Structure 1
Amino acid sequence: MRLEDMSIEQLLEMNQIICERIDELRAKQDMQAIMKLRLGAKVHFNTPDGKVFGTLIKVNRKTVVVVSEDRRQWKVSPGLVKLVEDVS
């Protein structure tokens, strides 16, 4: 079936199904990310202004809290946070 042939009701139903699937995939991705994180871990994530480095201080179900090197606290999605690899 082509999108052009679908009614508004059909399109809205399809949209709801797609949004639910996206939410499921994001939740799964966040849970996998949380399982790799530990309090005190050195992490980084990207912002529009560049990469932020910091320490993980709290892990919630849907977010993590990071204290950056400039002592700012950031609440971000766990899927956006990456562990800093030890280069020693």
Structure 2
Amino acid sequence: MSVNIDHLSIDELVELNHHIIERLKMLESLDAHKSMMQFHPGARVSFDSPQGERLSGTIMKFNRKTVTVVTDNGRRWNVSPHLLAPIKDMRVGAVVDIGSKKTK
């Protein structure tokens, strides 16, 4: 796609720039919302801290572009939803049948 903007005045270029920025913000917001829809408050998630440490915690609330997560050590983080990974809910003490086969 090629758009010729050579004929636009400064005022027109500034106006076009404002429209582009607003459109980009809207698309970013829609993308964040779509990512958030994978989760719900109370869900267990994990993510990497800026230092590279893998943290896990519970989603407390949704913000406009981020999700507030309280980690297991009690610290609050506002994390972009696309950086979160769900943690499967494993019940403590649950017995898992691994399908052992006995031969006769």
Q: Secondary structure at the match of 1:36?
A: coil
Runs of 4+ in 1 over 3 A off after TM superposition: 60-63
| TM-score normalized by the length of structure 2 | 0.61
Q: What residue ranges of structure 2 are gaps of 5+ in the alignment? A: 91-104
Aligned to 1:67: 70
Question: Percent identity, aligned pairs only?
Answer: 35
Between the aligned partners of 1:2 and 1:75, the Cα distance in structure 2 is 39
Which one of the candidate residues 26, 29, 38 is aligned to 2:28?
A: 26
**Do the aligned residues in 1 keep the contact of 2:46 with 2:87 (CA within 8 Å)?**
no
Identify the structure with the greater strand proportion: 1
State the Cα distance separating 1:35 from its structure 2 match.
Answer: 1.8
Structure showing greater radius of gyration is 2
| TM-score normalized by the length of structure 1 | 0.69
Moved more, 40-49 or 26-35: 40-49
Moved more, 64-73 or 39-48: 39-48
Number of matched residues?
A: 85
